[in-house]
Structure 1
Amino acid sequence: MNILAVLSLCLSPILGGVSVVLGIIAQVQIKRTGERGRGLAIAGIVVGAIPAVIVSIIVLGAIIAEILDSRPSFPDPAPSISSSPSNYGDDDDLDVLWDDCADGDYGSCEDLYYESDVGTQYEDFGWTCGDRTTGGMCADADADADADADTSTTVVFNDVRPGDCFIDGSSVLVTVSDCALPHLFEAYHSFEMTDGPLPSEEAMDAQEDTECDSAFDEYVGISHDETRLQRSTFQPTEESWSAGDRTIICVIESDTPVTGAARNSAR
């Protein structure tokens, strides 16, 4: 029995490296002398090598972890900065509208709302009519002051004149008021059609285009092709025509009550 083979197996649990060396030497001696113990030497080599393999795996893992940790890190890209004007002081033209809106020019408040970007301080200031309301294009702005300045009068509908503003256009009598008060309609022109049978809708529309378009350009200060204002007309009905009504009234119409005159606003 080869003594080194026995020692290789006995030392393998505690001295793995030594047992591997002894096992290899024992294999050489056994091959030369023919002694017994070849199986013990092989077992010592295998058992002794296991701790070395485990240690190698641990060391290799530590080296790989160190390499990964030492890679340079790059900072997150800086957020993009919008160049769109947002707050007071960012844009000279919008600042002028802001100042006029703050002074009570409700037309400027509306311009500020439409011309500024969505979600900006400019848009919010215009929408709330200079922080006077919770929103709604100044419809409820400064209600007490408006009540004091109320100069409303009731007239026959066909007596409405350019510059008159009103809410209801569905009755014979209409209450006209200062355009600083909330209104849905602002008259900017009226004209009389010639006597005779009631014209066709196409003929009436053609005469309206001729009369109202040119009057709008002069009244508002901007071409009717470029405006963002909504235009409409009040025409004689078949019944009113039979009663002698020949008046067509050209108006600027809003879907919700607004304040401020469109005259010379260039909107």
Structure 2
Amino acid sequence: MDIPPPPGAAPYQRWPGPYSPYSRPPVNGFAIASLVLGLLCFLPGVGLVLGLIALAQIKRKGERGKGMAVAGSILSAVGVLLLVLAVVTGGARDFMEGFREAARASRQDTGAFPVDKGGCLNAPDGRLDSMKFGYQVDEVPCAGRHDAEVFASYRVHHATYPGDRVLTGVAETKCADLQFAYVMDRWQDFGDADLYYFVPDRTTWRRGDRHVTCLFGAPDPDHPLKGTLRSDGTTLDADQLAYVTAEQAFERAYGKEPDAERVEDDLPGHKEWAAGVVKGLDERVRLLRAHDWPASTRERVDALVAAIGKGRTEWRKAAEAPDADSYRDRRGAAVAGIGDEQAVAVRKSLGLATTSPRDAAPGGDATPGGGAGSGPDEGHDETSEV
């Protein structure tokens, strides 16, 4: 219970008020922060500003911490000066380069590939199939000339080293699939690029490397790649992305044609393929109709949808053909009804490539060929063409 002061006595003062043995002013928080930032050389500009604010508040409020504010301001001012000198003399650039080199060295020590997805590189002598390739690569901008572009990396889940043959088989299949998540536009011009991959060998596996790296590479050192092949959500606008997504539904189905070229050798397989193409066309139409196209493109999309409808009828008849001759007759009309001619008009309005993969090469496939990488020897990975 509070006891009132005797008559005529002045009441005790409470903070804020004059200093007394029973009430000391607090330490200014900005002064503490300024000293910490000054000691750590972290955000020196912020530390200097906080120190000046602290000095002003201490003078006005009578708080403690003037020495800390002064020390923090001085240390932060020194930090700002050193930072300016580093930028002017190039020290900051050298520091970052050294940091990147250390990071690359650390990744090499653990067997990790030194270039991430979306990065481009040059190999020694430009030869991706060289036994000396290893991890000795130079990362370079994709806009200029380069030997390879990394488009995917994934982890292999095996308790023990599965052997080169297993890793090679997995890489061939997986990298071939992953390329279309990086290059969503199937009409993209791959030029002379081949598909390569980098797998762990027994030595790098022991260091902890479990990743397969997939690359597009130039098989001829005298004809390097130029510019990125990437066409996904990071490089396409909303309308372009919507269109290539719809087109992928058909291209995936169309790309599953049976290995047997003669219909007589696998009529059931060819009919199953035709049925799959019908489903792909249906999905393509659904996605095309679902998007709100610009006025300059909408009419062209409608013409494409109409052409796909006619072609779908022929593909359905091919899927139901009773014999090889009937199938061949229907398939000829079906292929002509894919809608490539109308697709070119849509692509022009969207600023996309206009050469169909069915016209780009003798084999009708514009995707990279069979370059591949493996690690058959102890102590290093390598790449080689199949």
For the criterion TM > 0.5, the same-fold answer is no
TM superposition score normalised by structure 2: 0.27
Higher strand share: 1
Higher relative contact order (CA 8 A, sep 6+): 2
TM-score, length-scaled by structure 1: 0.37
Q: Which has the larger share of helix?
A: 2
Structure showing greater Rg: 1
